[in-house]
Amino acid sequence: MKASAKKVSGRSLANGLGLFSIGLGLAELLAPKTLARSLGMEGQERLLQAYGLRELGVGLGILAATEPAPWIKGRIVGDLLDLGTLAVQLKPGSPHRGRLALALGMVAGVTSLDVYCARLLRAESWQARALKWDYRDRSGWSRPPSAMRGIARDTVPQKVSTPHTTPAYH
């Protein structure tokens, strides 16, 4: 049996990323010590909670907005911040190096999803604008061409005068 691929809409992917943000934000906000310990970031629990607030805000913004694209861009910026924070922790000889590398890979994967979603939303926005201003079926005439033939000949007045010329200004 052949598997059929469904086309994912930008909006549905954005909603999924918004829910993911809320879940991640709650984890960072409610369990910062556990997360910090597993990544070797002890003493940076407040930073993780701040990142959790950011994730919650962006997630709620995505779900509440009629146009989620700016919020998805906010996710991308947040992902870059997360990647930088994790990369700084990746020190030679760190006992948490494996977990940090895994976390970096996961954040990079989600970042690629965010970029893909932003591109989908932009393409859908362009398509919606193009559909709104589609004039291909319009001719510009109020009647069909067959009804317009001879109109100018029949409606031009018999006596047409030319405009008066104005004297030159010296």
Determine, yes or no, domain membership for 96: yes
Determine, yes or no, domain membership for 161: no
Q: Tell me, what's the pLDDT at 33?
A: 96
42 pLDDT above the threshold of 80 = yes
- Give CA–CA dist 153/141, Å, rounded: 17
Q: Please name which of 50, 33, 51 lies closest in space to residue 42, comparing C-alpha atoms.
A: 33
Determine, yes or no, domain membership for 116: yes
Owning domain of residue 17: 10-132
Three-point CA angle 106, 111, 113, nearest 5°: 100
Number of domains the chain contains: 1
Write b or e for each residue in 95-115: b if 16 or more Cβ atoms lie within 10 A of its Cβ, otherwise e.
ebeeebeebbeebeebbebbe
Determine, yes or no, domain membership for 164: no
pLDDT digits (tens, 9 = 90+) for 16-38: 999 999 999 999 999 999 999 99
Q: Tell me, what's the pLDDT at 35?
A: 94
Judge contact between 124 and 9, C-beta under 8 A: yes
Report which of residues 165 and 109 the model is more confident about. 109
Tokens of 145: 């061409």
Interacting residues of 156 by C-beta distance below 8 A, sequence separation 6+ = none
pLDDT digits (tens, 9 = 90+) for 49-106: 999 999 999 999 999 999 999 999 999 999 999 999 999 998 888 888 999 999 999 9
Determine, yes or no, domain membership for 72: yes
pTM listed for this prediction: 0.70
Average pLDDT taken over every residue of the chain: 86
CA distances from 119 to 7, 55, 114, 122, 124 (A): 14, 21, 9, 5, 9
Determine, yes or no, domain membership for 159: no
130 pLDDT above the threshold of 70 = no
Report which of residues 28 and 159 the model is more confident about. 28
